[in-house]
Amino acid sequence: MQKKNSYKYLNLYAIAIALYGYLIINIGLPAYPSLKNYFGTSEEFVKFSITVLLFGFGFSQIVWGALSEKYGRKKIIITAVSISVLGSLLTSFSETIAFFTVSRFLEGFGAGFAAVFSRAILADTFKNKKLPKTISNTIAVIALGPAFSPIIGGEILALTSWQTVYIFLTIIGGILLYSSIFQLKETHEKPNKTLNLKKLFIIISKIFSHKKFMGYFLPYSIILSGLITFYAISPYIFIKQFKFSASNYSYLLIAIGVANTFGTLYSKKLIDFLDSDAILKLGFLIALMSGATTFIFYLFDIYNFYIVLGAMMFYGISCGFISPICNAEAINALSNDDKTNSHRGITSSILGGGIMVISSILTYGIAKVQFDSILKICILISSLVIFAFGIFLFLIEKEKGTLRNAFNFLFIFLTKKKN
């Protein structure tokens, strides 16, 4: 019988690889405004390297997820970490923006495994009701990753240079590679050895045609991409506009990470009292409040870093409500379906990849936008929330008949009032 890792180790390993993924994305943020002068290029090209990184991180997840269904988790993790470590090393030697961008793509492509397997390993190990709470615990810790990563990068930048940031990533990746080779046991008990490209497309098409899965996957991806996009543009807001130093700016992001963690932990407590969809609606309401608050400040012509930080803290709390519930409900939706069951690697890759692909599109779309007004942040937040909530209503609430019942109640109420 094949040996298994303890639940404690798998939890810690899932957290470690997820944090590594966020390190790859966010640790270099404090240096980005200065890269324009170092490479002698435009701000748009530097921002484009973020878009390329996020796209590589997102696109690769379907590759790693599919390969892990056929060959198991461990072999694919080792391969992906190796590619990511190589990308980090090459990035540290970059002398042109083109080489930097290609190296970051390679780094992101390899690191895409982190989002896939932090979910897949937990889904392999924990079932049904245990899964939401386990994911909540994991996300509560992971939520601090995007906040603390720029702090590490900012302190390294203050002491040495931006190149050292990527040497640091190479070392961290090496440690993770060692643990993956010598400590991690296989969690996927029954790999599908017959999986090929045709079968993969059939599985993916079935997943994307699953209404309940899409009803949780799309809102989750849209809402979380807003937070990731904000992290990506934050150095240009706080460093360039509000004149914070690279190291001081990074400490501001702790507030957003703590807010996100608070939302995750509080939503975990609510699971015992409210159903999942009620918690999600509360999360959407908090996110909408974030957009509404920024609009009020716009009307009074107030724009400073306190307002931006406060708005994103509210948004971070809402992500803490939405993320673990959507993750668990999407995975469970497919686990309870015979046609799509047992493909947790592919499911996890779609969940993680969707966020990053949408984030890459968002960062590319707003690359030339200067967030010199709170109204622009208000429009960004409100658009994402309304779009995500609309999809949730259409695919989940409509399916349950909630919308129809609400409209019937409203019709009866108005009819009685006229009579």
100: three-class secondary structure by DSSP: helix
Q: Please report the pLDDT score of residue 411 as a whole number.
A: 47
- Amino acid letter for position 253: L
Minimum mean pLDDT range among 1-10, 34-43, 157-166, 231-240:
1-10
The C-alpha atoms of residue 320 and residue 301 are separated, in whole angstroms, by 30
- Per-residue pLDDT, averaged over 303-316, amounts to 94
Q: What percent of the chain has pLDDT over 90?
A: 56
- Amino acid letter for position 313: M
Assess whether pLDDT exceeds 80 at residue 56.
yes
The C-alpha atoms of residue 309 and residue 314 are separated, in whole angstroms, by 9
Token pair in block for residue 201 = 């497309």
CA angle 335, 323, 337 (to 5 degrees): 10
The C-alpha atoms of residue 191 and residue 71 are separated, in whole angstroms, by 6
The C-alpha atoms of residue 207 and residue 62 are separated, in whole angstroms, by 12
What are the angstrom distances between the C-alpha of 65 and each of 112, 118, 124, 195?
10, 11, 13, 12
- For the chain, give every domain's residue range: 11-418
The C-alpha atoms of residue 232 and residue 355 are separated, in whole angstroms, by 13
The C-alpha atoms of residue 258 and residue 308 are separated, in whole angstroms, by 16
Q: Please report the pLDDT score of residue 172 as a whole number.
A: 97
The C-alpha atoms of residue 143 and residue 47 are separated, in whole angstroms, by 23
Q: Please report the pLDDT score of residue 410 as a whole number.
A: 44
pTM for the structure as a whole: 0.85
Token pair in block for residue 223 = 């809402």
User: In the chain, what are the helix, strand and coil shares in percent, each to the nearest 5?
Assistant: 85, 0, 15
The C-alpha atoms of residue 65 and residue 106 are separated, in whole angstroms, by 17
CATH ID of 11-418, from 3.30.420.40, 2.40.128.50, 1.20.1250.20, 3.40.1350.10:
1.20.1250.20
Assess whether pLDDT exceeds 80 at residue 405.
no
The C-alpha atoms of residue 11 and residue 228 are separated, in whole angstroms, by 23
Instruction: For 401-415, give one letter per residue: b (16+ CB within 10 A) or e.
Output: eeeeeeeeeeeeeee
Rama region for 75: left / alpha / beta (φ>0; ψ in -120 to 50; rest): alpha
What's the residue count for the chain?
419
Mean per-residue pLDDT of the chain:
87
Token pair in block for residue 97 = 């923006």
